[in-house]
């Protein structure tokens, strides 16, 4: 198991918590250490409690754990909120000169640093968090020069004076602790020569979109999807693309649909109620056979729910949302690097099968920053398949006897030729109405059946032609099978270490495709016990699996708004294995 350090900075929204945490994460990454971060935040601009947490190790890590070793606390609430995770070896850095009197449990190391005064000495009180980072370096024996690199990256654009002041602030914090405290804490942060990149799931989706040739993005700001739009803005233009902020999600999905009809690879992304509004247009996307990637970064619902909290409650919406019967694909990346690759795959599926592809991510992945080897995103491995996009010669093959383009031709594989505006002889209408091969409205029964079958046949073709595999961890021959989807994978993989220590043998299957999905009948039949793990109350994926295999499974559901943690999950799995299977 990784020798790791768990560090956090917490205070009120508006205290610069996020950027402070990000700078430290960056410094650790520069030092060749792996980083996995999480955020506690509220839906408000100022006030409330917010924290940025970092778990770091020289080994690869992909989960948070229930432990906090070093805490930079700008408020008492930061300490109180984290009492469960703090332990007797924990150090709490705080500013004793500030108005609040810190109430710190005796067994912990209270490190009182005059953050504000030292920051003022360095050039301004605004840098007090950087002083705290310097103090953290002193406690952990972490070379402050890595912090310098992160400060240069963060403030380089603001001029050398700002960078130097921040470096000075860090030095003052480091020296203060070195001179005034002799802490007997065994946190010696090793470094390596590895160069890592540090990014979150939404950045990975945005980068994947550009790599995949997405050139048009329309969206409406909503937590936690907005950062995809923010990532693309300012970058997609470099590749000839554009981001437009629509007036609402109804508009966003229709703009994206327009871009796709015009021949661009287009995407929209949303969350929460935004996906409800977009549901109106799902059927049109499918019926007009438009290639479109619709990303849902799930957050806690229903209604406004807990907008800044984790949940995987939209699976049924992705599978069944919209009136009528809508052929679609549902792709659910299971890790941050997979957010990149599955986004690319989503664009290929959309164009190959001319139907909506739901890319379903979640809040935990969207805000977590994680380190990777750069070649985890090797752009040379990106493949683009534009499906049956016709060229000038091919278009002629698809004209009817009167020279009209058969945009919805009833083909064997269900996929019709696709002509985009500007293509001579390709002009046609597509519509949300039932239509014939030409896209003309019809209510003739045989044509209706032909077109419904044709559209559904695309899914059957895809089932045969594409790989709908799963990711697997642990012992393939174990009697205990744990199935998961989405971002729980990392915590499960690390839970395997804890389980192994306890002598519990487990096979983990992590599913990145919910529709079409891998057939797990054999795997479930081979296991004595099957548990489905997901962040929702009712077990939406467990329901799907029970439907597939006609057998009851055990369920672990978490809907507190906080993602699974590896140690916690290991305990729950052990407990669940000892319980009876629910009644048939």
- Residues 271-300 contacting another protein, CB under 8 A: 280-281, 284, 288
Applying CB under 8 A, among 79, 266, 350, 524 the residue interacting with another protein is: 266
The residue (of 108 and 244) whose beta carbon lies closer to another protein is 244
The residue (of 121 and 149) whose beta carbon lies closer to another protein is 149
Q: Quote the CA–CA distance of 18 and 559 in Å, as a whole number.
A: 24
Token pair, residue 272, equals: 């929460």
The residue (of 153 and 552) whose beta carbon lies closer to another protein is 153
Q: Which of residues 465-524 bind another protein (CB under 8 A)?
A: none
Angle in degrees, CA 76, 81, 83, rounded to 5: 95
Q: Does 433 bind another protein (CB under 8 A)?
A: yes
Applying CB under 8 A, among 258, 305, 387, 518 the residue interacting with another protein is: 258
Q: Which of residues 217-256 bind another protein (CB under 8 A)?
A: 218, 235, 237, 239-242, 244, 246-248, 250-252, 254-256
Token pair, residue 483, equals: 């199935």
Where b means 16+ CB within 10 Å and e means fewer, 466-498 reads bebebeebbeeebebbbbbbbbbbbbbbbbbeb
Applying CB under 8 A, among 422, 503, 578, 583 the residue interacting with another protein is: 422
Q: Which of residues 340-359 bind another protein (CB under 8 A)?
A: none
Applying CB under 8 A, among 84, 103, 179, 421 the residue interacting with another protein is: 421
Q: Which residues contact 234 (CB under 8 A, 6 or more apart)?
A: none
**312 three-class SS:** coil
Q: How far is the CB of 29 from another protein (least distance, A)?
A: 8
Q: Which of residues 545-574 bind another protein (CB under 8 A)?
A: none
- The torsion angles phi and psi of 12, rounded to 5 degrees, stand at -95, 155
Q: How far is the CB of 217 from another protein (least distance, A)?
A: 10
Q: Which of residues 29-68 bind another protein (CB under 8 A)?
A: 29-30
**Residue tagged 């679609």 (tokens):** 328
Applying CB under 8 A, among 377, 473, 498, 541 the residue interacting with another protein is: 377
Q: Rounded to whole angstroms, what are the CA distances from 467 to 88, 350, 481, 522?
A: 50, 15, 22, 17
Q: Does 432 bind another protein (CB under 8 A)?
A: yes
Q: How far is the CB of 166 from another protein (least distance, A)?
A: 19
The residue (of 73 and 207) whose beta carbon lies closer to another protein is 207
Q: Does 77 bind another protein (CB under 8 A)?
A: no
Q: How far is the CB of 313 from another protein (least distance, A)?
A: 25
Q: Quote the CA–CA distance of 427 and 467 in Å, as a whole number.
A: 34
Q: Does 100 bind another protein (CB under 8 A)?
A: no
**205 three-class SS:** helix
Q: Which of residues 107-136 bind another protein (CB under 8 A)?
A: none
**Residue tagged 């871009």 (tokens):** 259
Q: Does 426 bind another protein (CB under 8 A)?
A: yes
Token pair, residue 69, equals: 């070793």
Q: How far is the CB of 276 from another protein (least distance, A)?
A: 14
Q: How far is the CB of 344 from another protein (least distance, A)?
A: 8
Q: Could you give the maximum distance between any two Cα atoms of the chain, in Å?
A: 90
Q: How far is the CB of 266 from another protein (least distance, A)?
A: 7
Q: Yes or no: say if 23 and 132 are a contact pair by the CB < 8 Å rule.
A: no
Q: Which of residues 394-413 bind another protein (CB under 8 A)?
A: 402, 404
Burial level of 189, CB count in 10 A (0-12/13-18/19+)?
buried
- The torsion angles phi and psi of 466, rounded to 5 degrees, stand at -105, 160
Residue 363 Rama label (left phi>0; alpha psi -120 to 50; beta): alpha
Q: Yes or no: say if 465 and 322 are a contact pair by the CB < 8 Å rule.
A: no
The residue (of 83 and 379) whose beta carbon lies closer to another protein is 379
What one-character DSSP code corresponds to residue 399? B
Q: How far is the CB of 62 from another protein (least distance, A)?
A: 17
Applying CB under 8 A, among 260, 367, 491, 573 the residue interacting with another protein is: 260
Part of the chain binding another protein (CB under 8 A), chosen from 108-116, 167-175, 263-271, 512-520: 263-271
Total residues contacting another protein by CB under 8 A comes to 71
Q: How far is the CB of 391 from another protein (least distance, A)?
A: 12
Q: Which of residues 193-222 bind another protein (CB under 8 A)?
A: 195-199, 203, 207, 210-213, 215-216, 218
Q: How far is the CB of 7 from another protein (least distance, A)?
A: 20
The residue (of 77 and 153) whose beta carbon lies closer to another protein is 153
Applying CB under 8 A, among 45, 424, 550, 583 the residue interacting with another protein is: 424
Q: Does 28 bind another protein (CB under 8 A)?
A: no
Q: Quote the CA–CA distance of 315 and 370 in Å, as a whole number.
A: 25
Applying CB under 8 A, among 1, 83, 125, 384 the residue interacting with another protein is: 384
- The torsion angles phi and psi of 456, rounded to 5 degrees, stand at -70, -30
Token pair, residue 577, equals: 């294995």
Q: Quote the CA–CA distance of 194 and 196 in Å, as a whole number.
A: 6
The reply to whether omega before 418 is within 30° of 0 (cis) is no
Q: Quote the CA–CA distance of 584 and 566 in Å, as a whole number.
A: 30
């Amino acid at each position: 198991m990784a020798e790791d350090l768990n560090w956090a900075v917490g205070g009120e929204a508006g205290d610069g918590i996020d950027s402070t945490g990000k700078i430290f994460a960056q410094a650790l990454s520069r030092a060749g250490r792996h980083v996995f971060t999480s955020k506690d935040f509220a839906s408000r601009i100022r006030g409330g409690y917010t924290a940025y947490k970092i778990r770091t190790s020289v080994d690869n890590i992909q989960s948070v754990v229930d432990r906090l070793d070093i805490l930079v606390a700008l408020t008492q609430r930061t300490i109180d909120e984290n009492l469960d995770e703090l332990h007797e070896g924990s150090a709490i850095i705080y500013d004793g000169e500030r108005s609040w009197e810190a109430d710190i449990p005796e067994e912990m190391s209270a490190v009182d640093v005059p953050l504000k005064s030292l920051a003022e000495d360095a050039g301004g009180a605004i840098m007090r968090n950087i002083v705290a980072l310097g103090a953290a370096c002193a406690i952990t024996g972490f070379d402050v020069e890595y912090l310098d690199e992160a400060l240069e990256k963060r403030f380089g654009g603001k001029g050398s004076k700002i960078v130097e002041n921040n470096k000075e602030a860090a030095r003052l914090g480091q020296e203060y602790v070195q001179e005034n405290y002799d802490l007997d804490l065994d946190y010696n942060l090793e470094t390596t020569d590895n160069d890592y990149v540090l990014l979150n799931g939404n950045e990975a989706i945005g980068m994947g979109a550009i790599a995949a040739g997405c050139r048009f993005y329309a969206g409406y700001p909503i937590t936690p999807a907005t950062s995809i739009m923010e990532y693309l803005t300012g970058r997609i233009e470099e590749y000839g693309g554009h981001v437009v902020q629509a007036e609402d999600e109804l508009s966003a999905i229709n703009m994206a649909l327009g871009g796709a009809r015009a021949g661009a690879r287009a995407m929209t992304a949303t969350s929460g109620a935004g996906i409800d509004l977009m549901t109106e247009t799902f059927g049109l996307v499918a019926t007009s056979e438009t290639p479109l990637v619709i990303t849902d970064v799930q957050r806690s619902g229903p209604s406004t729910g807990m907008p800044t909290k984790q949940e995987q409650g939209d699976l049924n919406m992705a599978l069944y949302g919209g009136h009528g019967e809508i052929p679609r694909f549902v792709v659910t990346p299971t890790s941050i690097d997979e957010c990149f690759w599955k986004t690319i795959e989503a664009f290929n599926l959309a164009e190959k099968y001319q139907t909506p592809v739901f890319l379903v991510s979640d809040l935990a992945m969207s805000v977590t920053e994680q380190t990777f080897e750069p070649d985890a995103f090797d752009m040379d491995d990106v493949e683009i398949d534009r499906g049956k996009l016709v060229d000038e010669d091919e278009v002629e093959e698809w004209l009817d006897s009167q020279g009209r383009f058969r945009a919805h031709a009833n083909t064997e594989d269900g996929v019709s030729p696709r002509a985009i505006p500007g293509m001579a002889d390709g002009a046609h209408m597509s519509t949300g109405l039932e239509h014939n091969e030409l896209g003309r409205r019809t209510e003739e029964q045989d044509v209706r059946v032909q077109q419904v079958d044709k559209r559904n046949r695309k899914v059957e073709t895809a089932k045969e032609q594409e790989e709908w595999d799963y990711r697997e961890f642990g012992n393939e021959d174990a009697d205990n099978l744990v199935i998961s989807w989405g971002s729980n994978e990392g915590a499960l993989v690390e839970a395997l270490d804890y389980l192994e220590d306890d002598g519990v043998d487990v096979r983990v299957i992590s599913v990145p495709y919910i529709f079409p999905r891998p057939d797990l009948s054999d795997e479930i039949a081979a296991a004595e016990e099957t548990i489905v793990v997901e962040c929702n109350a009712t077990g939406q994926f467990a329901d799907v699996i029970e439907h597939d295999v006609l057998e009851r499974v055990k369920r672990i559901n978490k809907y507190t708004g906080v993602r699974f943690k590896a140690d916690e999950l290991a305990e729950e799995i052990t407990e669940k294995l000892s319980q009876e299977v629910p009644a048939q």
